[in-house]
Amino acid sequence: MCGIFGFQGFEEPGLLRRMANTTIHRGPDGEGFFEQGKYSMGMRRLSIIDLEDGDQPIFNEDRSLVVCFNGEIYNYVELTKELKDKGHIFRTHSDTETIVHGYEQWGMDFLQKLNGMFALALYDRRKDELIIARDRAGQKPLYYYHRDGRFIFASEAKAILESQNVERACNINAIDSYLGLRYTPQPDTMFKDISVLPAAHFLRLRRGDIDIVRYWDVAPAIQSRMSRAECLAAFDETFTNAVRLTLRSDVPVGAYLSAGIDSSLVVGRMREFNNDIKTFSLGFDSPIDELPEARALAAKFGCDHHEVVCVPDDLGLLPKVIWHLERPIGDVLVLAYYKLAQEAARQVKVVLSGEGADELFAGYSFHKIIQWTAIWERFTPGLLRRNLALPALAAVPVPVLNKLFNYPAYLGNKGKARVVEYLRHFGDRSLAQNYVYLRTLWEHDERRQVYTDNYRHLATDTLVKESASQDGALLDRLLRLHFDDWLQDNLLLRQDKNTMAHSLEMRAPFLDHNLIELAFKMPPGMKVNWLTDKYIERQYAKSILPMDAVKRPKNPFYFPLEFFYENPRAKELVAMTLNEESVKKRGYFDYAYVKFLKEKMDAREFVYLKQLYSLVILELWHMVFIDKQRLW
């Protein structure tokens, strides 16, 4: 696990060193550089595999190929044997060396051979070309800048900003997607002229020109014929192998453990290969906590268990967290993950996580809601919906409606209005639009209201692109949207940045590409079966977990602002970022609307609170990165 960086097409004395210093948290155990003519690249190393001889850059036998690598190739043992059998000579025992020899043997098809998470930079001296690439699910980030003949890449955008040739400015067009989605979809970033290399893509730089190619994709099966027994057998084999591979390490490996089924399955399978497991759970000392359930499960598995509690005073860490995230993510929950990683890093260098399971096996409530609504639309006459069902729903008191949802926070009048409008216009929207509507913090009309006149044109209804392929069942198409969007641009990014802030590596067995492909081959009923979400996981878990863990419904994990917002530290953040002078100076938002949101805090409705703090986080990002204020 490392941080990589480099540039081509220009000279800038000291830039490589500054990029290394900026990413030192990603790799405190060592560094390496390669400079030849117009190519310069380097890395910071976090030693996980081959602690003695795995330093980078790494070359092939005749030094015509050189690689800087961030991540882990879990199947490096098998690849090394295969490549040695074909005559390649290895000088290390590291997973990184399989990349240069794999490229020699298979060309760009070598990416298909890799099972792991990675961002890599490979320079081919013979062809005089640079290749950068990311893993299939986008677990490891990679940014680039390409303008005026200059090309710069890095694991973190802040390293690119170290160049005097890169303007430190906001990508104004990204503000609307941030408000609508809580993050900026790839390939855009919040920085002007800095892009994300999309997951499952490689970029080739030749003679100053770039071309970007997708090397892997997963398409929903048009008609799956797998039986229940076949699904269970295939899941068992594939998931067990994924856990086994992600445990390969020359340093201790722990695990994040919530009370949810995903991380519980990971820990349950870890026990087959390791009897000494440190586990880490997160709570808020609030009514939504599941710490007792996680504690009980850890005790059953005999784990050395640790608990992290996020308290209101921790809000003071938010500016530092945003510096590590590099982009605003409109959810204060990022702070809690920062603290969880901080504690885990004191005990281990690697943690396993259940990330990715919800996106593959339909673990979110909106997966079911969209399916049910589609059925309702299909079989309920339009007049009955418009003249009876919707007016009746609108008349239901908020406290009653709130009980129908498994979100722990208070739905409120704002949330109730969203539900009614969602149902009223479901048939008028595309799948992508309904998907966004159920998850958005700021609807289109609300974004138009909060903007000043100069920025109202930013508001758009097209925040997530509809998939080009309409093949497969509705649920599979929905999961495909979720996999390409929310997982890659939000969940995995916040986990990578928060873990690497503490030089901690996070691995996700559910994102083994074999398991991803299997998930999309399974019939939709193996994911959502009537009222049961993640059906295949729950059936499989019966042989591993206690029945209360198998049956426990998913409790959405969120930051309980309704319990924190009255804390002095929380009020300080709002006052510092959303005062009248600051809002008007930035110029994006109408202060009257911002003032309205601040006044609505006492309503304790989670939509208003989340909207307000999304603006707080956006302003903090500007203060940290555009104004270069050090707020911690």
Catalytic residue positions, numbered: 2
Shortest CA distance to 35 belongs to which of 52, 62, 11? 11
User: Cα 150–321–330 angle (5° rounding)?
Assistant: 90
**Residue with the two structure tokens 């390939």:** 187
3-state secondary structure at position 437: helix
Q: How far is CA 251 from the centre of its chain?
A: 25
> CB under 8 Å to 169, separation ≥6 — which residues?
191, 192, 193, 626
**Residue 412 tokens, joined:** 């409120």
Secondary structure (DSSP) of 97-143: HHHHHHHHHHGGGHHHH--EEEEEEEEETTTTEEEEEE-SS--S--E
28 φ, ψ to 5°?
A: -85, -5
Shortest CA distance to 516 belongs to which of 104, 199, 205? 199
**Residue 553 tokens, joined:** 């419904």
User: Cα 589–593–594 angle (5° rounding)?
Assistant: 70
Question: Where is 586: in which H helix or E strand?
Answer: helix 580-586
The one-letter amino acid code at 493 reads: L
How far apart are alpha carbons 105 and 88 in whole angstroms?
9
- Whether residue 327 contacts residue 190, with contact meaning beta carbons closer than 8 Å, is answered with yes
- Whether residue 327 contacts residue 622, with contact meaning beta carbons closer than 8 Å, is answered with no
Question: Where is 76: in which H helix or E strand?
Answer: helix 76-85
> CB under 8 Å to 476, separation ≥6 — which residues?
220, 221, 520, 524
How far apart are alpha carbons 559 and 365 in whole angstroms?
18
Question: Where is 505: in which H helix or E strand?
Answer: strand 505-507
For the chain, percent helix, then strand, then coil, each to nearest 5?
A: 50, 15, 35
CA dihedral 274, 356, 215, 225 (to 10 degrees): 100
Strands 350-352 and 143-147, by their bridges, are unpaired
**Residue 343 tokens, joined:** 């504690």
Partners of residue 70 on adjacent β-strands = 119
> CB under 8 Å to 469, separation ≥6 — which residues?
219, 220, 477, 480
Partners of residue 202 on adjacent β-strands = 133, 213
